[in-house]
Structure 1
Amino acid sequence: MTGLVHRDLAGGIATLTLDSPPNRNALSVRLLGELSDGLRWALDEPESRVIVLTATGHVFCSGADIKEQRTSPTQQGAPVTASFPGVLELIWESPKPVICRLNGTARAGGLGLVASCDFAIAPLTASFAFTEVRLGVAPAMISVPVLRRLSSRAAAEYLLTGEVFDAARAAEIGLLSAAVPPEELDETVARYAEMLMKGGPEALAITKRLVREVPAMPFSAGLQRMTELSAERFTSDEGQEGIAAYMEKRPPKWVPPSSEG
Protein backbone atom coordinates (compact mmCIF):
# COMPACT_ATOMS: atom_id res chain seq x y z
CA MET A 1 0.00 0.00 0.00
CA THR A 2 1.51 3.33 -1.04
CA GLY A 3 1.49 6.21 1.37
CA LEU A 4 -0.79 9.23 1.09
CA VAL A 5 1.77 11.60 2.60
CA HIS A 6 5.37 11.52 1.40
CA ARG A 7 8.34 12.80 3.37
CA ASP A 8 11.56 14.35 2.15
CA LEU A 9 14.45 16.04 3.93
CA ALA A 10 17.04 18.04 2.02
CA GLY A 11 19.13 21.06 2.97
CA GLY A 12 17.35 21.49 6.30
CA ILE A 13 13.91 21.58 4.67
CA ALA A 14 11.42 18.84 5.56
CA THR A 15 8.78 18.53 2.85
CA LEU A 16 5.45 16.76 3.44
CA THR A 17 3.48 16.05 0.26
CA LEU A 18 -0.19 15.07 0.25
CA ASP A 19 -0.57 12.44 -2.46
CA SER A 20 -4.19 11.38 -2.85
CA PRO A 21 -5.20 12.94 -6.20
CA PRO A 22 -8.15 10.57 -6.91
CA ASN A 23 -10.14 12.28 -4.13
CA ARG A 24 -8.41 15.67 -4.56
CA ASN A 25 -6.26 15.16 -1.46
CA ALA A 26 -9.34 15.07 0.76
CA LEU A 27 -8.87 14.82 4.51
CA SER A 28 -9.57 11.13 4.95
CA VAL A 29 -8.86 9.39 8.24
CA ARG A 30 -5.83 7.71 6.70
CA LEU A 31 -4.40 10.88 5.17
CA LEU A 32 -4.82 12.78 8.43
CA GLY A 33 -3.09 10.01 10.34
CA GLU A 34 -0.16 9.99 7.93
CA LEU A 35 0.03 13.79 7.96
CA SER A 36 0.09 13.81 11.75
CA ASP A 37 2.90 11.25 11.74
CA GLY A 38 4.77 13.24 9.09
CA LEU A 39 4.53 16.46 11.07
CA ARG A 40 5.81 14.75 14.21
CA TRP A 41 8.71 13.34 12.18
CA ALA A 42 9.58 16.79 10.81
CA LEU A 43 9.36 18.35 14.28
CA ASP A 44 11.55 15.66 15.88
CA GLU A 45 14.13 15.47 13.08
CA PRO A 46 17.19 17.47 14.26
CA GLU A 47 18.26 18.35 10.71
CA SER A 48 14.83 19.80 9.88
CA ARG A 49 14.80 23.61 10.18
CA VAL A 50 11.83 24.54 7.98
CA ILE A 51 8.73 22.51 7.10
CA VAL A 52 7.03 22.75 3.69
CA LEU A 53 3.52 21.36 3.21
CA THR A 54 2.42 20.74 -0.38
CA ALA A 55 0.47 18.27 -2.53
CA THR A 56 0.36 16.48 -5.87
CA GLY A 57 -2.15 17.01 -8.66
CA HIS A 58 -4.10 20.17 -9.43
CA VAL A 59 -5.82 20.49 -6.04
CA PHE A 60 -4.03 21.18 -2.78
CA CYS A 61 -6.86 19.89 -0.59
CA SER A 62 -10.61 19.68 -1.15
CA GLY A 63 -11.51 19.48 2.53
CA ALA A 64 -13.21 16.63 4.36
CA ASP A 65 -13.57 13.29 2.61
CA ILE A 66 -17.34 13.52 2.20
CA LYS A 67 -17.67 10.06 0.65
CA GLU A 68 -15.82 8.45 3.53
CA GLN A 69 -17.95 10.25 6.09
CA ARG A 70 -21.16 9.38 4.30
CA THR A 71 -20.36 5.68 3.92
CA SER A 72 -19.00 5.34 7.46
CA PRO A 73 -21.44 7.37 9.55
CA THR A 74 -20.53 5.57 12.77
CA GLN A 75 -16.91 6.66 12.33
CA GLN A 76 -17.58 10.17 11.12
CA GLY A 77 -17.31 11.99 14.41
CA ALA A 78 -14.60 10.10 16.23
CA PRO A 79 -11.59 9.58 13.95
CA VAL A 80 -11.86 12.68 11.77
CA THR A 81 -12.77 15.10 14.54
CA ALA A 82 -10.07 13.66 16.79
CA SER A 83 -7.26 13.87 14.25
CA PHE A 84 -7.96 17.06 12.27
CA PRO A 85 -7.74 19.43 15.27
CA GLY A 86 -4.53 17.65 16.25
CA VAL A 87 -3.02 18.26 12.81
CA LEU A 88 -4.02 21.93 12.86
CA GLU A 89 -2.51 22.34 16.32
CA LEU A 90 0.74 20.64 15.32
CA ILE A 91 1.14 23.08 12.43
CA TRP A 92 0.06 26.17 14.40
CA GLU A 93 2.22 25.41 17.45
CA SER A 94 5.25 24.16 15.50
CA PRO A 95 8.43 25.87 16.75
CA LYS A 96 9.78 25.42 13.23
CA PRO A 97 8.38 27.72 10.54
CA VAL A 98 5.84 26.02 8.27
CA ILE A 99 5.37 27.08 4.64
CA CYS A 100 2.30 25.98 2.72
CA ARG A 101 3.17 25.55 -0.96
CA LEU A 102 -0.22 25.35 -2.63
CA ASN A 103 -0.03 23.43 -5.88
CA GLY A 104 -3.58 24.49 -6.71
CA THR A 105 -7.11 24.93 -5.44
CA ALA A 106 -8.18 24.59 -1.80
CA ARG A 107 -11.63 24.25 -0.33
CA ALA A 108 -13.21 24.09 3.12
CA GLY A 109 -11.03 22.05 5.50
CA GLY A 110 -8.07 22.46 3.19
CA LEU A 111 -8.13 26.14 4.06
CA GLY A 112 -7.68 25.20 7.69
CA LEU A 113 -4.31 23.75 6.75
CA VAL A 114 -3.46 26.89 4.76
CA ALA A 115 -4.39 29.26 7.59
CA SER A 116 -2.49 27.26 10.19
CA CYS A 117 0.83 27.58 8.34
CA ASP A 118 3.09 30.56 8.98
CA PHE A 119 3.40 31.28 5.26
CA ALA A 120 1.18 30.30 2.35
CA ILE A 121 2.16 30.76 -1.28
CA ALA A 122 -0.16 29.84 -4.15
CA PRO A 123 -0.22 30.17 -7.93
CA LEU A 124 -2.46 32.90 -9.31
CA THR A 125 -4.45 30.17 -11.06
CA ALA A 126 -5.66 28.69 -7.75
CA SER A 127 -9.12 29.34 -6.36
CA PHE A 128 -10.57 29.09 -2.87
CA ALA A 129 -13.93 28.73 -1.14
CA PHE A 130 -15.39 28.00 2.26
CA THR A 131 -18.10 25.68 0.97
CA GLU A 132 -19.41 24.35 4.28
CA VAL A 133 -22.61 26.41 4.51
CA ARG A 134 -23.68 25.20 1.08
CA LEU A 135 -23.62 21.66 2.46
CA GLY A 136 -25.62 22.66 5.51
CA VAL A 137 -22.62 22.36 7.83
CA ALA A 138 -20.34 24.96 9.42
CA PRO A 139 -16.62 25.76 9.04
CA ALA A 140 -16.28 25.11 12.75
CA MET A 141 -12.83 23.63 13.34
CA ILE A 142 -11.08 25.62 10.65
CA SER A 143 -12.54 28.88 11.95
CA VAL A 144 -9.99 28.73 14.79
CA PRO A 145 -6.96 29.39 12.53
CA VAL A 146 -8.89 31.08 9.69
CA LEU A 147 -10.41 33.82 11.86
CA ARG A 148 -6.93 34.65 13.11
CA ARG A 149 -5.91 35.46 9.52
CA LEU A 150 -8.91 37.24 7.99
CA SER A 151 -10.51 40.57 8.81
CA SER A 152 -14.03 40.25 10.22
CA ARG A 153 -15.52 41.69 7.01
CA ALA A 154 -13.67 39.23 4.77
CA ALA A 155 -14.53 36.35 7.10
CA ALA A 156 -18.24 37.20 7.01
CA GLU A 157 -18.20 37.61 3.24
CA TYR A 158 -16.60 34.30 2.36
CA LEU A 159 -17.55 32.00 5.23
CA LEU A 160 -21.23 32.99 4.98
CA THR A 161 -21.60 33.03 1.20
CA GLY A 162 -19.38 30.11 0.17
CA GLU A 163 -18.36 32.22 -2.84
CA VAL A 164 -15.31 31.17 -4.85
CA PHE A 165 -12.47 33.73 -4.84
CA ASP A 166 -9.12 33.82 -6.57
CA ALA A 167 -5.56 33.75 -5.26
CA ALA A 168 -5.04 37.49 -5.65
CA ARG A 169 -8.05 38.14 -3.41
CA ALA A 170 -6.85 35.45 -0.96
CA ALA A 171 -3.57 37.33 -0.58
CA GLU A 172 -5.41 40.64 -0.21
CA ILE A 173 -7.50 39.40 2.73
CA GLY A 174 -4.60 37.69 4.51
CA LEU A 175 -5.27 34.04 3.72
CA LEU A 176 -2.10 33.87 1.61
CA SER A 177 1.34 35.41 2.06
CA ALA A 178 1.77 35.66 -1.71
CA ALA A 179 0.04 34.77 -4.98
CA VAL A 180 2.48 34.34 -7.85
CA PRO A 181 2.51 33.16 -11.47
CA PRO A 182 2.68 29.34 -11.54
CA GLU A 183 6.18 29.37 -12.99
CA GLU A 184 7.40 31.42 -10.00
CA LEU A 185 5.89 29.20 -7.30
CA ASP A 186 8.93 27.06 -6.51
CA GLU A 187 11.30 30.01 -6.67
CA THR A 188 9.14 31.97 -4.22
CA VAL A 189 8.84 29.09 -1.77
CA ALA A 190 12.62 28.55 -1.96
CA ARG A 191 13.21 32.26 -1.27
CA TYR A 192 11.07 32.14 1.88
CA ALA A 193 12.77 28.96 3.06
CA GLU A 194 16.23 30.41 2.45
CA MET A 195 15.41 33.55 4.43
CA LEU A 196 14.11 31.45 7.32
CA MET A 197 17.26 29.33 7.37
CA LYS A 198 19.24 32.50 8.21
CA GLY A 199 17.33 32.96 11.48
CA GLY A 200 18.42 31.35 14.74
CA PRO A 201 16.22 28.29 15.43
CA GLU A 202 15.42 29.41 18.99
CA ALA A 203 14.83 32.99 17.88
CA LEU A 204 12.42 31.85 15.17
CA ALA A 205 10.41 29.73 17.61
CA ILE A 206 10.18 32.60 20.10
CA THR A 207 9.31 35.18 17.45
CA LYS A 208 6.51 32.93 16.15
CA ARG A 209 4.94 33.13 19.60
CA LEU A 210 5.46 36.89 19.83
CA VAL A 211 3.55 37.52 16.61
CA ARG A 212 0.53 35.74 18.05
CA GLU A 213 0.67 36.52 21.76
CA VAL A 214 1.97 40.08 22.14
CA PRO A 215 -1.04 41.85 20.53
CA ALA A 216 -3.28 40.40 23.25
CA MET A 217 -1.04 41.55 26.12
CA PRO A 218 -1.83 44.68 28.14
CA PHE A 219 0.58 47.38 26.96
CA SER A 220 2.53 47.92 30.18
CA ALA A 221 2.74 44.21 31.05
CA GLY A 222 3.77 43.47 27.50
CA LEU A 223 6.63 45.95 27.61
CA GLN A 224 7.85 44.51 30.91
CA ARG A 225 7.78 40.92 29.68
CA MET A 226 9.39 41.79 26.37
CA THR A 227 12.18 43.74 28.13
CA GLU A 228 12.96 40.62 30.14
CA LEU A 229 12.85 38.43 27.04
CA SER A 230 15.11 40.80 25.12
CA ALA A 231 17.73 40.60 27.86
CA GLU A 232 17.44 36.80 27.94
CA ARG A 233 18.01 36.55 24.19
CA PHE A 234 21.03 38.88 24.12
CA THR A 235 22.74 36.74 26.79
CA SER A 236 21.69 33.37 25.34
CA ASP A 237 24.20 31.16 23.55
CA GLU A 238 22.37 31.69 20.28
CA GLY A 239 22.24 35.44 20.77
CA GLN A 240 25.92 35.61 21.64
CA GLU A 241 26.81 33.58 18.54
CA GLY A 242 24.70 35.85 16.34
CA ILE A 243 26.35 38.98 17.73
CA ALA A 244 29.83 37.49 17.39
CA ALA A 245 29.11 36.52 13.78
CA TYR A 246 27.90 40.04 13.01
CA MET A 247 31.02 41.61 14.52
CA GLU A 248 33.30 39.17 12.73
CA LYS A 249 31.45 39.61 9.43
CA ARG A 250 30.68 35.90 9.03
CA PRO A 251 27.46 33.85 8.92
CA PRO A 252 26.27 32.44 12.27
CA LYS A 253 26.95 28.75 12.82
CA TRP A 254 23.31 27.84 12.28
CA VAL A 255 23.25 29.11 8.68
CA PRO A 256 23.93 26.29 6.19
CA PRO A 257 26.44 27.08 3.41
CA SER A 258 23.69 27.09 0.78
CA SER A 259 21.92 29.98 2.57
CA GLU A 260 24.93 32.20 3.17
CA GLY A 261 25.08 35.61 1.55
Structure 2
Amino acid sequence: MSTTPRPDDAGGQPDLIVAARDGVTTLQLNRPQRRHALSLSLLEQLDEALAAIAEDKTVRAVVIASEGKVFCSGHDLGEMTGRSEEDYQTLFATCARMMQRVRQLPQPVIARVQGFATAAGCQLVAACDLAVAAEEAQFATPGVRIGLFCTTPMVPLVRNIAPKMAMEMLLTGQPISAQQALSAGLVNRVVPANQLDAAVSELTDAIVASSPLTVSIGKRAFYDQLSLDEETAYQRAVAVMTDNALRHDAQEGMTAFLEKRSPDWTGS
Protein backbone atom coordinates (compact mmCIF):
# COMPACT_ATOMS: atom_id res chain seq x y z
CA MET A 1 0.00 0.00 0.00
CA SER A 2 1.21 3.47 -0.75
CA THR A 3 -0.14 6.96 -0.53
CA THR A 4 0.80 10.09 -2.40
CA PRO A 5 2.49 12.39 0.12
CA ARG A 6 1.37 15.99 0.30
CA PRO A 7 4.05 18.52 1.11
CA ASP A 8 3.79 20.41 4.35
CA ASP A 9 3.31 24.13 3.86
CA ALA A 10 6.56 25.04 5.64
CA GLY A 11 9.25 22.71 4.40
CA GLY A 12 8.21 20.95 1.22
CA GLN A 13 8.47 17.58 2.98
CA PRO A 14 5.56 15.15 3.20
CA ASP A 15 3.71 15.61 6.48
CA LEU A 16 2.80 11.93 6.59
CA ILE A 17 5.30 9.19 5.77
CA VAL A 18 3.85 5.74 5.06
CA ALA A 19 6.23 2.79 5.25
CA ALA A 20 5.39 -0.92 5.04
CA ARG A 21 7.57 -3.84 6.07
CA ASP A 22 6.87 -7.46 7.01
CA GLY A 23 3.13 -6.93 7.38
CA VAL A 24 3.46 -3.80 9.51
CA THR A 25 2.63 -0.35 8.15
CA THR A 26 4.01 2.68 9.97
CA LEU A 27 2.27 6.03 9.68
CA GLN A 28 4.84 8.62 10.72
CA LEU A 29 3.69 12.14 11.53
CA ASN A 30 6.23 14.42 9.89
CA ARG A 31 5.60 18.04 10.82
CA PRO A 32 8.47 18.65 13.26
CA GLN A 33 8.41 22.42 12.70
CA ARG A 34 4.79 22.39 13.98
CA ARG A 35 5.39 19.81 16.73
CA HIS A 36 3.63 17.21 14.58
CA ALA A 37 0.35 19.13 14.93
CA LEU A 38 -2.74 17.66 13.28
CA SER A 39 -3.54 20.11 10.53
CA LEU A 40 -6.69 19.49 8.52
CA SER A 41 -4.50 18.23 5.68
CA LEU A 42 -2.68 15.77 7.94
CA LEU A 43 -5.97 14.54 9.40
CA GLU A 44 -7.27 13.93 5.90
CA GLN A 45 -4.09 12.09 4.94
CA LEU A 46 -4.28 9.88 8.02
CA ASP A 47 -7.92 9.14 7.29
CA GLU A 48 -7.14 8.24 3.68
CA ALA A 49 -4.18 6.08 4.67
CA LEU A 50 -6.22 4.19 7.24
CA ALA A 51 -9.05 3.66 4.75
CA ALA A 52 -6.56 2.16 2.29
CA ILE A 53 -5.00 -0.02 4.99
CA ALA A 54 -8.42 -1.41 5.91
CA GLU A 55 -8.67 -2.89 2.39
CA ASP A 56 -5.07 -4.13 2.24
CA LYS A 57 -4.83 -7.75 3.38
CA THR A 58 -1.03 -7.62 3.40
CA VAL A 59 -1.13 -5.22 6.37
CA ARG A 60 -1.39 -7.08 9.67
CA ALA A 61 -0.64 -4.27 12.13
CA VAL A 62 -0.26 -0.49 12.10
CA VAL A 63 2.10 1.74 14.07
CA ILE A 64 1.53 5.48 14.46
CA ALA A 65 4.78 7.25 15.24
CA SER A 66 6.80 10.45 15.02
CA GLU A 67 10.30 11.66 15.88
CA GLY A 68 11.65 14.28 18.27
CA LYS A 69 10.58 15.52 21.67
CA VAL A 70 6.89 15.72 20.73
CA PHE A 71 4.73 12.81 19.58
CA CYS A 72 1.84 15.06 18.60
CA SER A 73 0.82 18.48 19.91
CA GLY A 74 -2.83 18.21 18.88
CA HIS A 75 -4.64 20.51 16.50
CA ASP A 76 -2.61 23.15 14.67
CA LEU A 77 -3.63 26.35 16.43
CA GLY A 78 -2.05 28.36 13.62
CA GLU A 79 -4.96 27.41 11.36
CA MET A 80 -7.69 27.59 14.00
CA THR A 81 -8.13 31.25 14.91
CA GLY A 82 -10.79 33.40 13.32
CA ARG A 83 -12.49 30.56 11.46
CA SER A 84 -16.16 30.12 10.63
CA GLU A 85 -18.56 27.72 12.29
CA GLU A 86 -18.41 25.58 9.15
CA ASP A 87 -14.61 25.51 9.27
CA TYR A 88 -14.56 24.36 12.89
CA GLN A 89 -17.25 21.77 12.24
CA THR A 90 -15.24 20.38 9.31
CA LEU A 91 -12.01 20.25 11.31
CA PHE A 92 -13.43 18.53 14.38
CA ALA A 93 -15.62 16.16 12.34
CA THR A 94 -12.62 15.15 10.22
CA CYS A 95 -10.61 14.50 13.36
CA ALA A 96 -13.43 12.47 14.91
CA ARG A 97 -13.82 10.43 11.73
CA MET A 98 -10.12 9.62 11.63
CA MET A 99 -10.04 8.64 15.32
CA GLN A 100 -13.03 6.36 14.85
CA ARG A 101 -11.43 4.81 11.81
CA VAL A 102 -8.49 3.77 14.02
CA ARG A 103 -10.94 1.82 16.17
CA GLN A 104 -12.87 0.44 13.20
CA LEU A 105 -9.76 -0.73 11.36
CA PRO A 106 -9.54 -4.56 11.10
CA GLN A 107 -5.86 -4.40 12.01
CA PRO A 108 -4.60 -3.46 15.49
CA VAL A 109 -3.08 0.02 15.76
CA ILE A 110 -0.19 0.77 18.12
CA ALA A 111 0.88 4.25 19.21
CA ARG A 112 4.66 4.57 19.52
CA VAL A 113 4.98 7.53 21.88
CA GLN A 114 8.48 8.95 22.27
CA GLY A 115 7.58 12.40 23.63
CA PHE A 116 4.77 14.77 24.56
CA ALA A 117 1.25 13.81 23.46
CA THR A 118 -1.09 16.71 24.10
CA ALA A 119 -4.73 17.54 23.33
CA ALA A 120 -5.70 15.74 20.09
CA GLY A 121 -2.28 14.07 20.27
CA CYS A 122 -3.32 12.50 23.58
CA GLN A 123 -6.63 11.67 21.92
CA LEU A 124 -4.76 9.82 19.18
CA VAL A 125 -2.91 7.70 21.74
CA ALA A 126 -6.18 6.91 23.52
CA ALA A 127 -7.85 5.98 20.24
CA CYS A 128 -5.16 3.41 19.38
CA ASP A 129 -5.66 -0.19 20.43
CA LEU A 130 -2.27 -0.38 22.14
CA ALA A 131 0.35 2.17 23.14
CA VAL A 132 4.02 1.94 24.05
CA ALA A 133 5.68 4.97 25.63
CA ALA A 134 9.23 6.02 26.29
CA GLU A 135 10.01 6.95 29.87
CA GLU A 136 10.26 10.62 28.87
CA ALA A 137 6.78 10.72 27.33
CA GLN A 138 4.06 12.89 28.87
CA PHE A 139 0.36 13.18 28.23
CA ALA A 140 -1.96 16.15 28.65
CA THR A 141 -5.29 17.64 27.60
CA PRO A 142 -4.46 21.33 28.16
CA GLY A 143 -7.15 22.96 26.04
CA VAL A 144 -8.82 24.50 29.09
CA ARG A 145 -5.78 26.74 29.47
CA ILE A 146 -6.42 28.44 26.14
CA GLY A 147 -10.20 28.59 26.47
CA LEU A 148 -10.95 25.56 24.31
CA PHE A 149 -11.93 22.55 26.41
CA CYS A 150 -10.57 19.24 25.09
CA THR A 151 -14.05 17.88 24.48
CA THR A 152 -13.28 15.58 21.54
CA PRO A 153 -10.05 14.27 23.13
CA MET A 154 -12.20 13.50 26.17
CA VAL A 155 -14.17 10.83 24.27
CA PRO A 156 -11.47 8.15 23.94
CA LEU A 157 -9.60 9.36 27.05
CA VAL A 158 -12.48 8.57 29.41
CA ARG A 159 -12.85 5.20 27.70
CA ASN A 160 -9.25 4.40 28.65
CA ILE A 161 -8.83 5.74 32.18
CA ALA A 162 -10.91 6.34 35.29
CA PRO A 163 -13.39 9.25 35.02
CA LYS A 164 -11.95 11.25 37.93
CA MET A 165 -8.42 11.06 36.55
CA ALA A 166 -9.68 12.02 33.11
CA MET A 167 -11.59 14.93 34.59
CA GLU A 168 -8.50 16.13 36.46
CA MET A 169 -6.47 16.08 33.23
CA LEU A 170 -9.25 17.94 31.41
CA LEU A 171 -9.94 20.55 34.10
CA THR A 172 -6.35 21.37 35.04
CA GLY A 173 -4.46 20.74 31.80
CA GLN A 174 -1.62 19.33 33.89
CA PRO A 175 0.45 16.62 32.17
CA ILE A 176 0.87 13.13 33.55
CA SER A 177 4.06 11.10 33.24
CA ALA A 178 4.49 7.92 31.25
CA GLN A 179 4.41 5.91 34.47
CA GLN A 180 1.17 7.60 35.54
CA ALA A 181 -0.26 6.87 32.10
CA LEU A 182 0.75 3.24 32.53
CA SER A 183 -0.89 3.01 35.95
CA ALA A 184 -4.02 4.68 34.59
CA GLY A 185 -4.30 2.34 31.61
CA LEU A 186 -3.61 4.88 28.88
CA VAL A 187 -0.52 3.00 27.69
CA ASN A 188 0.46 -0.67 27.80
CA ARG A 189 4.20 -0.40 28.36
CA VAL A 190 6.80 2.15 29.37
CA VAL A 191 10.39 1.53 28.33
CA PRO A 192 13.67 3.43 28.02
CA ALA A 193 13.78 5.43 24.80
CA ASN A 194 16.42 3.18 23.27
CA GLN A 195 14.12 0.18 23.75
CA LEU A 196 11.00 1.77 22.28
CA ASP A 197 11.27 0.23 18.82
CA ALA A 198 12.03 -3.20 20.26
CA ALA A 199 8.98 -3.01 22.54
CA VAL A 200 6.75 -2.02 19.62
CA SER A 201 8.21 -4.82 17.49
CA GLU A 202 7.52 -7.33 20.22
CA LEU A 203 3.83 -6.46 19.99
CA THR A 204 3.66 -6.35 16.19
CA ASP A 205 5.53 -9.66 15.91
CA ALA A 206 2.99 -11.32 18.19
CA ILE A 207 0.10 -9.86 16.21
CA VAL A 208 1.54 -10.83 12.82
CA ALA A 209 2.05 -14.40 14.05
CA SER A 210 -1.69 -14.86 14.57
CA SER A 211 -4.47 -15.29 12.02
CA PRO A 212 -5.39 -11.88 10.59
CA LEU A 213 -9.03 -12.95 10.41
CA THR A 214 -9.10 -13.98 14.05
CA VAL A 215 -7.40 -10.74 15.12
CA SER A 216 -9.89 -8.63 13.20
CA ILE A 217 -12.88 -10.60 14.57
CA GLY A 218 -11.54 -10.20 18.09
CA LYS A 219 -10.80 -6.49 17.78
CA ARG A 220 -14.29 -5.72 16.51
CA ALA A 221 -15.94 -7.86 19.17
CA PHE A 222 -13.89 -6.20 21.91
CA TYR A 223 -15.19 -2.74 21.11
CA ASP A 224 -18.72 -3.92 20.28
CA GLN A 225 -19.25 -5.41 23.71
CA LEU A 226 -17.77 -2.60 25.80
CA SER A 227 -20.98 -0.59 26.05
CA LEU A 228 -23.28 -3.60 26.53
CA ASP A 229 -24.61 -5.01 29.78
CA GLU A 230 -23.05 -8.32 30.82
CA GLU A 231 -25.87 -10.57 29.62
CA THR A 232 -26.06 -8.91 26.21
CA ALA A 233 -22.26 -8.90 25.95
CA TYR A 234 -22.20 -12.65 26.53
CA GLN A 235 -24.91 -13.18 23.91
CA ARG A 236 -22.91 -11.18 21.41
CA ALA A 237 -19.68 -12.99 22.38
CA VAL A 238 -21.28 -16.44 21.98
CA ALA A 239 -22.47 -15.55 18.48
CA VAL A 240 -19.09 -14.13 17.47
CA MET A 241 -17.12 -17.03 18.92
CA THR A 242 -19.39 -19.56 17.23
CA ASP A 243 -18.86 -17.86 13.88
CA ASN A 244 -15.11 -17.66 14.57
CA ALA A 245 -14.92 -21.38 15.43
CA LEU A 246 -16.47 -22.31 12.09
CA ARG A 247 -13.83 -20.39 10.09
CA HIS A 248 -10.96 -22.16 8.38
CA ASP A 249 -8.26 -20.45 10.44
CA ALA A 250 -9.81 -21.56 13.73
CA GLN A 251 -10.11 -25.15 12.52
CA GLU A 252 -6.55 -24.99 11.19
CA GLY A 253 -5.22 -23.48 14.41
CA MET A 254 -6.83 -26.08 16.64
CA THR A 255 -5.73 -28.92 14.38
CA ALA A 256 -2.18 -27.57 14.18
CA PHE A 257 -2.02 -27.35 17.98
CA LEU A 258 -3.16 -30.96 18.35
CA GLU A 259 -0.70 -32.08 15.69
CA LYS A 260 2.12 -30.05 17.27
CA ARG A 261 2.89 -28.04 14.14
CA SER A 262 2.76 -24.40 13.07
CA PRO A 263 -0.60 -23.31 11.64
CA ASP A 264 -0.96 -22.21 8.04
CA TRP A 265 -3.18 -19.13 8.17
CA THR A 266 -5.25 -18.27 5.11
CA GLY A 267 -7.26 -15.40 6.55
CA SER A 268 -10.51 -17.27 5.97
TM-score for both structures, normalised by structure 1: 0.91
**Matches of 1:111 and 1:138, distance apart in 2:** 14
Contact 1:198–1:254 (CA under 8 A) maintained in structure 2: no
- Distance apart, 1:242 and its partner CA: 1.0
- 1:100 corresponding residue in structure 2: 111
| 1:153 to 1:230, Cα distance in 2 relative to 1, 3 A | same
Structure 2 residue 239 is matched with structure 1 residue 242:
no
Q: 1:150 aligns with which of 148, 157, 161?
A: 161
**Counterpart amino acid of 2:160?**
R
Structure 2 residue 87 is matched with structure 1 residue 73:
no
**Matches of 2:231 and 2:103, distance apart in 1:** 27
Secondary structure of the residue aligned to 2:151 is: coil
**Counterpart amino acid of 2:181?**
A
- Distance apart, 1:159 and its partner CA: 1.1
How many residues align? The count is 254
Segments of 5+ residues of structure 2 without an aligned counterpart are 1-6, 8-12
**Matches of 2:232 and 2:31, distance apart in 1:** 48
Structure 2 residue 200 is matched with structure 1 residue 222:
no
- 1:46 corresponding residue in structure 2: 57
**Counterpart amino acid of 2:182?**
A
Contact 1:62–1:109 (CA under 8 A) maintained in structure 2: yes
**What is the percent sequence identity of the aligned residues?**
31
**Matches of 2:247 and 2:211, distance apart in 1:** 11
- 2:130 corresponding residue in structure 1: 119
TM-score for both structures, normalised by structure 2: 0.89
**Counterpart amino acid of 1:128?**
F
**Counterpart amino acid of 1:73?**
R
| 1:139 to 1:251, Cα distance in 2 relative to 1, 3 A | same
- 1:259 corresponding residue in structure 2: none
- 2:10 corresponding residue in structure 1: none
**Matches of 1:136 and 1:143, distance apart in 2:** 15
- Distance apart, 1:177 and its partner CA: 1.1
**Counterpart amino acid of 1:137?**
L
Contact 1:63–1:106 (CA under 8 A) maintained in structure 2: yes
- 2:149 corresponding residue in structure 1: 138
- Distance apart, 1:78 and its partner CA: 4.0
Segments of 5+ residues of structure 1 without an aligned counterpart are 256-261
- 1:190 corresponding residue in structure 2: 201
For 1:173-229, what per-residue CA distance to the aligned partner results, in whole angstroms no more than 9, with x for missing partners?
111111111111011000010111122222212222333333433333433333333
Moved more, 119-128 or 30-39: 30-39
Secondary structure of the residue aligned to 2:190 is: strand
Moved more, 74-83 or 87-96: 74-83
**Counterpart amino acid of 1:202?**
L
| 1:79 to 1:251, Cα distance in 2 relative to 1, 3 A | same
**Counterpart amino acid of 1:159?**
L
Q: 2:211 aligns with which of 179, 191, 200?
A: 200
Q: What is the aligned-residue RMSD (CA, Å)?
A: 1.7
Contact 1:5–1:38 (CA under 8 A) maintained in structure 2: no
**Matches of 1:56 and 1:226, distance apart in 2:** 39
- Distance apart, 1:14 and its partner CA: 0.7
**Matches of 2:76 and 2:227, distance apart in 1:** 36
**Matches of 2:42 and 2:210, distance apart in 1:** 32
**Matches of 1:8 and 1:230, distance apart in 2:** 34
**Matches of 1:81 and 1:119, distance apart in 2:** 23
**Matches of 1:9 and 1:137, distance apart in 2:** 37
- 1:56 corresponding residue in structure 2: 67
